[in-house]
Amino acid sequence: MTRVAALDCGTNSLRLLISDVDDGKLTDVVRDMEIVRLGEGVDETGRFAQAALARTFAALDRYAGEIERHGVERVRMVATSATRDAANRDEFVAGVRDRLGVEPDVVSGDEEAALSFAGATIELRGTGRFAEPYAVCDIGGGSTEFVVGDDSGVFAARSVDIGCVRMTERHLRDDPPTADQIDAATVDIDAAIALAAETVPLDKAATLVGLAGSVTTVAALVLGLPAYDPERIHHARLSAAEVAETAAALLAMPRAERANLGPMHPGRVDVIGAGALVLDRIMRVGEFGEVVVSEHDILDGIAFSLVGAQW
């Protein structure tokens, strides 16, 4: 058994998984998330804001304490979309190294997609409960990763810049957004899906698996949960009609109403409409009748990578 710490630093959130890895299985010790909005303004300025770096470093200080307290043997931090885009990423890298003793791996979109696929599908493989091939869609803050594969591994992967923070900052600026703003975001999202489909055979997939906070929050709302419940959400099946209805409702709500929804994390209030819209468009354009929601994602893939797991 090996105790590992996996960290995923995206555009919107910073997450930690401390887990024991034994014989191809993960046992969670700590699974935590903070909304740090590291990528705030990066789409417009091309740089990390000092306030965003401060929020991120404060969360890392806390996570470093958790890692030390739990006797972790191996640590890997993956930094994704916003870090690929930021001109001052060296400042971020130095701050991570000072706190964790390791530098963040600024992975390519393709590697990010492969790690997400591994984490999301390892429980599905060989069970007979879910038809393969799988299309895994990881809707992040700055980008969305598409990856198609089956029990033998990945066929193709593509990362495109249609994350929930990026679409909110670029298009959905009013509260609630106007019809014209939603239309402009839809055009942007559909173009990105088409770009991904040039190299990733979404039309060959039998099961759509949706990952990350936008998807799991939509699932909690569809299920009518009074509060966020990972056990109820994990492997929930949402129909295309349920996703479309929820996305439309979120886009029509003012911020105050979204904030009062029981399962809503405060850090997702501003961007959940865009995230739900991305999921809705993926299902419409890809003609998927349902999506299987996974609470396991890139964090789990990072954890497995620390013990040399291959997919």
Q: What are the domain boundaries of the chain?
A: 2-108, 123-293
What is the number of other CB atoms lying within 10 angstroms of the CB of residue 7?
26
Q: What is the pLDDT of residue 81?
A: 61
Identify the CATH homologous superfamily for domain 123-293. Exopolyphosphatase. Domain 2 (3.30.420.150)
Q: What is the pLDDT of residue 226?
A: 95
Taking the C-alpha atoms of residue 50 and residue 74, their distance in angstroms, rounded to an integer, is 29
**Per-residue pLDDT of the chain in tens (311 residues, 90 and over written 9):** 899 999 999 888 899 999 998 877 888 999 998 989 898 888 788 899 999 999 999 999 999 999 999 999 999 999 876 677 788 988 999 999 999 999 999 887 778 778 888 889 888 876 778 999 999 999 988 889 899 998 888 899 988 989 998 999 999 999 999 999 999 999 999 999 999 999 999 999 999 999 988 999 999 999 999 999 998 999 999 999 999 999 999 999 999 999 999 999 998 999 999 999 999 999 999 999 999 999 888 899 999 889 875 54
pLDDT at 126: 67
Q: pTM for this one? A: 0.81
**Shared fold status for 2-108 and 123-293:** yes
> Which CATH number fits the domain 2-108, given the four candidates 3.40.1670.10, 3.40.1010.10, 3.80.10.10, 3.30.420.40?
3.30.420.40
In contact, 302 and 76? CB cutoff 8 Å: yes
Pairing of strands 134-139, 144-150: antiparallel
What is the rounded distance in angstroms from the CA atom of residue 120 to the CA atom of residue 295? 8
Measured in whole angstroms, how far is the alpha carbon of residue 115 from the centre of its chain? Answer: 11
CA angle 175, 273, 56 (to 5 degrees): 95
Q: How far apart are CA 219 and CA 192, in angstroms?
A: 23
- DSSP letter string over 83-121? HHH-TTHHHHHHHHHHHHSS--EE--HHHHHHHHHHHHH
Q: Residue 176: is the preceding peptide bond cis (ω within 30°)?
A: yes
pLDDT at 86: 83
Query: How far apart, in whole angstroms, are the C-alpha atoms of residue 134 and residue 150?
Result: 6
> What is the pLDDT, as a whole number, of residue 82?
66
